[in-house]
Chain A
Amino acid sequence: MITVEKLTKRYGETTVVDEVSFTVERGSITVIVGTSGSGKSTLLRMINRLIEPSSGRVLLDGRDTRSEPAHLLRRRIGYVIQGHGLFPHRTVAENIATVPRLLGWQEARIEARVRELLTVFSLDPAVYAQALPHQLSGGQQQRVGVARALAAEPVVLLMDEPFGALDPIIRAKAQDDLLDIQGRFGTTVVLVTHDMDEAFRLGDRVAVMSGGKLLQYDRPAELLVHPADPFVSRMTGLAERAMRLLSLITAGEAALPGAAEGPAVAPTATLREVLSELVWSGADAARVVDADGTVRGRLTVAAILARGAP
Chain B
Amino acid sequence: MPRAATVLRLGALALLIAFLAKPQSFAPLFAPLAQYGAPPIYDQGNLLSLALAQLGTVCLAAAASTLVAVGLGVLVTRPSGAQFLPLSRTLVNIGQTFPPVAVLAVAVPLVGFGEKPTLIALFAYGLLPIFENTLVGLKTVPGAVLEAASGMGMSARQRLLAVELPLAMPLILEGVRLSLVINVGTATIGSTVAAKGLGEVIIAGLLSSNTAFILQGGLVTGLMAILLYDGMAALERRLLRSVALD
Question: Could you list which residues of chain A lie within 8 angstroms of chain B, going by C-beta atoms?
Answer: 48, 50, 71-76, 79, 81-89, 98-99, 102, 132-135, 145, 148-149, 158
Contact = CB atoms under 8 A, between A and B. Distances in A.
B167 interface: yes
Given A76-B153, A79-B148, A85-B145, 16 more contacts: A50-B150, A71-B150, A74-B152, A81-B144, A82-B144, A84-B144, A87-B145, A88-B142, A88-B145, A88-B244, A89-B167, A102-B153, A102-B154, A133-B244, A149-B152, A158-B151
Contacts of B245: 88, 134
Contacts of B83: none
Nearest to A72: B153
A74 B244 contact: no
B150 A102 contact: no
A79 B153 CA distance: 10
B244 A75 contact: no
A83 B144 contact: yes
B97 interface: no
Contact of B243 (A84, A88, A99, A158): A88
Q: Which 7 residue pairs are nearest across A and B when measured between Cβ atoms?
A: A85-B148, A134-B246, A75-B153, A79-B151, A74-B153, A85-B144, A134-B244
B6 interface: no
A85 B155 CA distance: 17
Nearest to B163: A87
Contact of A85 (B142, B166, B167, B244): B142
A155 B40 CA distance: 80
A10 B15 CA distance: 69
5 contacts: A50-B150, A75-B152, A79-B148, A89-B167, A158-B151
Per DSSP, chain B at the interface is helix
B165 to A, nearest CB: 10
Nearest to B243: A89
Contacts of A145: 148
A102 B244 contact: no
A88 B246 contact: yes
Interface in B151-187: 151-155, 158, 163, 166-167
A83 B142 CA distance: 10
Contacts of A89: 166-167, 242-244
Interface residues of B, number: 22
A79 B152 contact: yes
Contact of A81 (B148, B243, B246): B148
B186 to A, nearest CB: 34
A271 to B, nearest CB: 38
Contacts of B154: 71, 98, 102
Interface string B201-212: 000000000000
A82 B158 CA distance: 23
Contacts of A158: 151
Contacts of A85: 142, 144-149, 151
B103 to A, nearest CB: 38
Residue of B145, B149, B245 contacting most chain A CB atoms (<10 Å): B145
A84 to B, nearest CB: 7
Contacts of B158: 102
Contacts of A132: 242, 244
Contact of A148 (B145, B152, B166): B152
Contacts of B242: 89, 132
A84 B153 CA distance: 16
Contacts of B163: 87
A104 B142 CA distance: 27
A71 B153 CA distance: 4
A133 B142 CA distance: 14
Residue of A79, A88, A148 contacting most chain B CB atoms (<10 Å): A88
Residue of A74, A79, A87 contacting most chain B CB atoms (<10 Å): A87
Contacts of A75: 152-153
Contact of B153 (A88, A99, A134, A135): A99
Contacts of B145: 85-88
Given A132-B242, A132-B244, A133-B244, A86 B148 contact: yes
A48 B149 contact: no
A110 to B, nearest CB: 14
B152 A99 contact: yes
Contacts of A99: 152-153
Nearest to B146: A85
A87 B144 contact: no
Given A85-B142, A89-B167, A132-B244, A50 B147 contact: yes
B148 A84 contact: yes
B172 to A, nearest CB: 14
Contacts of B167: 88-89
A88 B154 CA distance: 16
A82 B151 CA distance: 13
A30 to B, nearest CB: 18
Residue of A81, A82, A135, A148 contacting most chain B CB atoms (<10 Å): A81
